[in-house]
Amino acid sequence: MAAGKLLTELGEVQLAIDLIELGARLQVLESEVSLNRGRLVRLYKEVAGKSPPKGMLPFSTDWFMTWQPNIHSSFFYTLYRRLREGQQLERMQAVIKAYRLYREHIQLHGDEEVLALTRAWTLIRFFESGMFQLSECGKCRLQFVNHAGTPDADYVCGVCQPPSRAGKPLKKTRSVRAKAT
């Protein structure tokens, strides 16, 4: 009995460490890990080398609907779903693995990391609460994050139909960097 409890506690500590290393906010840890707040704060300081940031978690669903965040969120959620369904991973293990795969992909391609772990976790919660659905793009046939209940018969994603100013500040930043080197 005591050995089982110890193993459970070690699993919770490892989960907390994994989440902290990926940049989770304290509120995420409190929601997903059964350790008390004091212990989580101490663990956060030990792993991250600083106190956890203060402030509220992002809540608006609108952030996920803007052009670039929608593409990144849709990519992450697709990874998450595949891990849950294909590998039968538990919820938080799938979140961690999908987020690591997302970061690896972003770094490999030299792209900007748009989706922080806390936002990725929030995205999962929005799907679980029925606030989001996946809508299939009528052109590329890929699925993208969309508000639940939105008619999507004529849906076109932000990749197939980007907004007129999409990517312009990034191109300017890259050209400024290129001239500096």
| 18 is an annotated ligand-binding site residue | no
Task: Report domain extents, the chain.
Answer: 2-48, 62-175
Q: pLDDT tens digits for 22-57? A: 999 999 999 999 999 999 999 999 999 999 988 887
| 73 is an annotated ligand-binding site residue | no
Q: pLDDT tens digits for 68-100? A: 999 999 999 999 999 999 999 999 999 999 999
Q: pLDDT tens digits for 141-175? A: 999 999 999 998 999 999 999 988 766 555 444 44
| 158 is an annotated ligand-binding site residue | no
Catalogue the long-range contacts made by 124-130 (C-beta closer than 8 Å, 24 or more residues apart). Answer: 124/77, 124/80, 124/91, 124/95, 126/61, 126/64, 127/77
| 28 is an annotated ligand-binding site residue | no
For residue 106, is pLDDT > 60? yes
Confidence (pLDDT) at 173? 44
